[in-house]
Amino acid sequence: MIPPIFDICTPRDDVVAGTMIDTDFAADLAGVVNGTAPLEYRDATRFFATTYPTRGLWNLLGNVCGRLRGAASAASVFRLDTSFGGGKTHGLIALVHAARGMQGAPNVAEFVDPALSPGGPVRIAEFDGENADPLNGRGMGDGVYAKTPWGEIAYRLAGEAGL
């Protein structure tokens, strides 16, 4: 007989106390990249401490980190294909932290082979299609507006010269 989940799992303190805020669990990739996301997502130590190392996440991090290290055998293009709530944004946030070297994460080896950690700085560009404005463009800073995903990515990677 399988024991009830409440007999084998202990909820986090904020869940027990009823102080959990639902918005803390609305993953926002752009917020992680820009440094405005809740600490649970923004801080690699906290993020990986509360993330379960699934096989899918291991494969995703291994493929991308392998490519960043120059491994030609790693997939160069692949599709994240899960249903709503399947972990796509969570995986992309894990990639941001991995590209930044997973600073402070005590359990790196649970998620990716440490030998695949990027050997140097990695520039990160994200495109937030949910808040895009193709008609008016989105302000990138410096009075620059990008109207396409490619324009936003170019600006994030190389500034106004990239756009």
Residue-wise pLDDT for 82-121, tens only, equals: 767 668 888 999 999 999 888 888 888 999 988 888 877 8
> Among residues of the chain, what percentage have pLDDT more than 90?
16
What confidence category does residue 44 fall into, taking pLDDT thresholds of 50, 70 and 90? very high
Instruction: Please give the model's pTM, rounded to 2 decimal places.
Output: 0.78
Arithmetic mean of pLDDT, 34-45: 89
Decide if 89 contacts 57 (C-beta within 8 A). no
Arithmetic mean of pLDDT, 130-153: 86
Tokens of 147: 């109207």
Decide if 73 contacts 66 (C-beta within 8 A). yes
If one counts every other C-beta atom within 10 angstroms of the C-beta of residue 29, the result is 21
Nearest to 92, CA basis, from 9, 148, 27 = 27
